[in-house]
């Protein structure tokens, strides 16, 4: 079971929020894609396709044409964005955030054990209590394959437990050959 909700309340003019459903794929998208015009052309989509519809189409392409890796799909996105897709057909959650963290996205585990995402940390804190963290920049999460970096897809993403006052959270780092880059 999945529940999705969004509002335009407190929405930034520079980072609009949108919601769309297509072929059992539900998507919440916040932000803008600077390269949307070239992506539409690359995927053969019409000019009326906006960011949220594009992300659904790109996700479906990745899903249906395996082994097309998700890191390639998300790695082509340029701009300030965060999105959550729920694919009802495969019962999969797919989430990503831009590499600069310009659009806030948080995730946590609710009291009943469900994974939850929000752009509002206080709202998520009410649902997750002490179990939440910022979603790592430059990463994507799939309930089918876990958390990965789309910038460094061959490298592991490591979670490091943190305490911020009463909050239990996790900072994320991408392992490099001998160097770790923070993904906070």
Give, for all 184 residues of the chain, the pLDDT tens digit.
Answer: 556 665 667 767 677 889 999 999 999 999 999 999 999 999 999 999 999 999 999 999 888 876 667 777 898 999 999 999 999 999 999 999 999 988 999 988 888 888 889 888 888 888 887 778 889 888 899 888 888 888 777 777 766 666 665 555 666 667 665 444 444 4
Distant-in-sequence, close-in-space partners of 39: CB < 8 Å, separation ≥ 6: 33, 45, 54, 58, 76, 77
Give the per-residue pLDDT at 183: 46
Rounded to two decimals, the pTM is 0.82
For 141, the enclosing helix (H) or strand (E) is strand 139-142
Q: Are residues 38 and 58 in contact, defined by beta-carbon separation less than 8 angstroms?
A: no
Give the per-residue pLDDT at 111: 84
Tell me the two tokens of residue 94.
């797919």
Give the per-residue pLDDT at 6: 57
Q: What is the SS3 assignment for 136? A: coil
What distance in Å separates the CA atoms of residue 181 and residue 184, rounded to the nearest whole number? 9
Give the per-residue pLDDT at 96: 95
Give the per-residue pLDDT at 164: 62
Distant-in-sequence, close-in-space partners of 100: CB < 8 Å, separation ≥ 6: 80, 137
For 59, the enclosing helix (H) or strand (E) is helix 51-64
Q: Which of 92, 39, 38, 42 has the alpha carbon at shortest distance from 64?
A: 92
Give the per-residue pLDDT at 47: 94
124, burial (CB in 10 Å: exposed 0-12, middle 13-18, buried 19+): buried
Domain 17-151 has CATH 3.40.50.1400: no
Residues forming beta bridges with residue 141, ordered by sequence position = 95, 147
What distance in Å separates the CA atoms of residue 100 and residue 172, rounded to the nearest whole number? 14
Rounded-to-5 percentages of helix, strand, coil across the chain: 20, 40, 40
Give the per-residue pLDDT at 30: 94
């Amino acid at each position: 079971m999945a529940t999705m909700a969004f509002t335009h309340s407190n929405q930034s003019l520079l980072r609009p929020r949108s919601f769309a459903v297509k072929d059992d794929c539900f998507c919440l998208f916040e932000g803008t894609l600077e390269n949307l015009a070239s992506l539409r052309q690359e995927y053969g989509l019409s000019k009326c396709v906006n960011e949220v519809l594009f992300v659904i189409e790109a996700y479906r392409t990745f899903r249906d044409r395996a082994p097309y890796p998700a890191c390639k799909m998300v790695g082509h996105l340029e701009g300030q964005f965060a999105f959550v897709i729920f694919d009802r057909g495969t019962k999969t959650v797919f989430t990503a955030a831009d590499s600069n963290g310009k659009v806030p996205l948080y995730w946590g585990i609710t009291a009943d054990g469900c994974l939850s995402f929000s752009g509002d940390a206080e709202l998520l804190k009410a649902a997750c209590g002490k179990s939440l963290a910022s979603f790592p920049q430059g990463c994507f999460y799939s309930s089918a394959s876990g958390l990965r970096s789309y910038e460094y897809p061959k490298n592991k993403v490591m979670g490091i437990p943190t305490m911020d006052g009463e909050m239990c959270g996790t900072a994320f780092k991408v392992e490099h050959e001998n160097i770790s880059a923070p993904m906070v």
